[in-house]
Chains A and B, each alone.
Chain A
Amino acid sequence: MAPRGQQTPGMQSNNRLLLVLSLLVIALAVTSLIVGSQSIDLKQALADQFNNPDSASAIILREIRFPRMLISIVIGASLGVCGAAMQGLLQNPLASPGLVGSASGAALGAVSVLYFSTSIASIQLIPIAGMLGSLMASLLVYLLAGRSAGITTLILAGVAVNSLATAGLSLLLNLAPSPYAAQELILWTLGDLSDRSFNDLWQLLPCTLLGWALLLGIGQPLNTLTLGESTAKSLGVRVNHLRWRVFIAVALSVGAAVSVAGMIGFIGLVVPHLLRPFVKHEPARLLSVSALGGAAMLLAADIGVRLIPTQQTLKVGVLTALVGAPFFFYLILRTRKQYHG
């Protein structure tokens, strides 16, 4: 009978996709340990951890490459899964944490702390400020666009809130006490994973994990939103509840990501898009694969910036934007075709 014959291959292909993406993440993670200004022999560096922990390659691996790799995975996964959740929630393929202002809001929050900070203790406030900024920005977009936002209203609201956040950032740059302070702020917003330590990872994890936890179990409700919000409600989905949950989850995990690594754009937009056909366009199944896909893409981008020879080190956020923006063009062209024949 059709149902059984269908269910099983679907599940199998899902598991196969998760396996392939996991292997990809592992392969990229290992590569990211090896590649860099100082190429290291991984086997030697691993052995050195026990025999000769103070050797240069052992220290590079332990203190620099390893935390950087883990941070890339966590942030990439956050961006991917948040993009997928946002797109599912808003039933809109163009939604992403960047588009609805979460990222620029978080950057504004975090930069405010950097700008006004007088003591080293206030560094601890960065993730909280990032999270609050992110939450406020997406709230504002949501209030502006209204509950049943069409694609146009939503994008306009996103543009408006993004420009407000950017204006706030510009103001802080403008008022920066010295050119050095200004440059520091600019570089920080570009999105960077270099020189990150385990401290950054510990700073990143609590809010991120809380955000991910909020996204657990939202798959089936997101699926019902395929039928529109009213029908989803009639099926017993608490749509308002779900919306708050996703907005807060995105604010938490994107806020944390931005406050550790600055703005890394387009991963939340591009990854769910690339993977959607492989999960038969099902919002629920897209969540976990987008987390893995996001991790893989950020690892790859971070390896990319280390391999591309530039005089100044290329920031990873710049690279994802350079690749992501044209992809966004392509998406708009395709959406245009879909809606207008």
Chain B
Amino acid sequence: MSDESSKSTESGALLSADHLSYTVGHDDIVHDVSLDVLPGELVGLIGPNGAGKSTLLSMLAGLQQPTNGAVRVREKPLQQFSITERAQIIGWLEQIGEIHWPLSVRRLVSLGRFPHLATWQKNNAKDEQAIQRALELTDSSHLQERDAMTLSGGERARVLMARVLAAEPSLLLADEPVAALDLGHQLQTMDVLRNFANGHKACIVVLHDLSVAARYCDRLYMMDKGKIAASGNAAKVLSNDNIRRVYGVDVIAGCESIPWIVPHKIVDQDS
């Protein structure tokens, strides 16, 4: 894996999307979105509910076919990858992850190794190491014997994060991974993503907490009604004007060692 990626595009984008649209009936869920992610980048995807963030992410992951436009990974169209190659490169973390059988947490996390296993192959030492590391990174080692269906919301989110980390993808697409987490685990998970997006690896993360987005992400894409409303560094994207226009909310923001953005009041749309 690592050899292959180091010889591929040094300067080029790890992932790029050209004019992606996703249409259901007459509704454009995603409309003409272009973006790119460079190796080493942590890119934040923000925007109000229903802006099309999750649909965009699942198109980038190759799970939904765009109505228009194309996704490229290392400059090669995503469809040209085999489904297994794609799964080895791209890790996708669902917004509300499902767990259907009461497997042990460790077994659940080990399912992340699936793209690396041949049909009859069992996890080897290398796989077990990846699983162990993922459990430790997400502070879930102590949960590994637990029944995965009895976890709390936050524990579950961490375990599912461990599942996607265990796959050791080059590109991680995470849909609201910190929404259910307490303050400490939010920071910890963001640190994990920050450290993940390093070298040839990169991450796109959907976030609702703008302070977290401003603090951790290299670049942000702000979506509104299926389109990119603003993109660039946090200072540019998270301007009071942009937030007011897209979220309809006035914020109080500042920066004292770290940036902070606190919603203040809902803007009267007619004024």
Contacts and interface: CB of A to CB of B under 8 A. Distances in A.
A238 B115 CA distance: 12
B63 interface: yes
A234 B92 contact: yes
Contact of A282 (B91, B107, B125): B107
Contacts of A281: 101-103
Interface stretch (B82-90, B180-188, B216-224): B82-90
B266 interface: no
Interface stretch (B21-29, B38-46, B116-124): B116-124
Interface in B217-269: none
B63 A228 contact: no
Interface size class of B (residues with CB under 8 A): 35 or more
A121 interface: no
A304 B98 CA distance: 42
A283 interface: yes
Contacts of B7: none
Given A226-B108, A227-B163, A283-B101, A234 B123 contact: no
Interface in A191-229: 217, 220-221, 223-228
Contacts, number: 89
A235 B115 contact: yes
A92 to B, nearest CB: 8
Contacts of A91: 98, 100-101
A226 B159 CA distance: 14
A227 B125 CA distance: 23
A335 interface: no
Given A4-B128, A235-B167, A227 B83 contact: no
A6 interface: yes
A227 B84 contact: no
Interface residues of A, number: 29
A226 B99 contact: yes
Interface of B: 58, 61-63, 83-84, 86-88, 90-92, 94, 97-104, 106-108, 111-112, 114-115, 117, 119-120, 123, 125, 128-129, 131-132, 144, 160, 163, 167
29 contacts: A1-B132, A2-B132, A3-B129, A6-B106, A91-B101, A92-B100, A223-B111, A227-B94, A227-B97, A227-B99, A227-B100, A227-B160, A227-B163, A228-B94, A228-B97, A230-B94, A231-B94, A231-B97, A234-B61, A234-B92, A235-B115, A235-B167, A236-B86, A236-B87, A236-B88, A236-B115, A238-B83, A282-B101, A282-B103
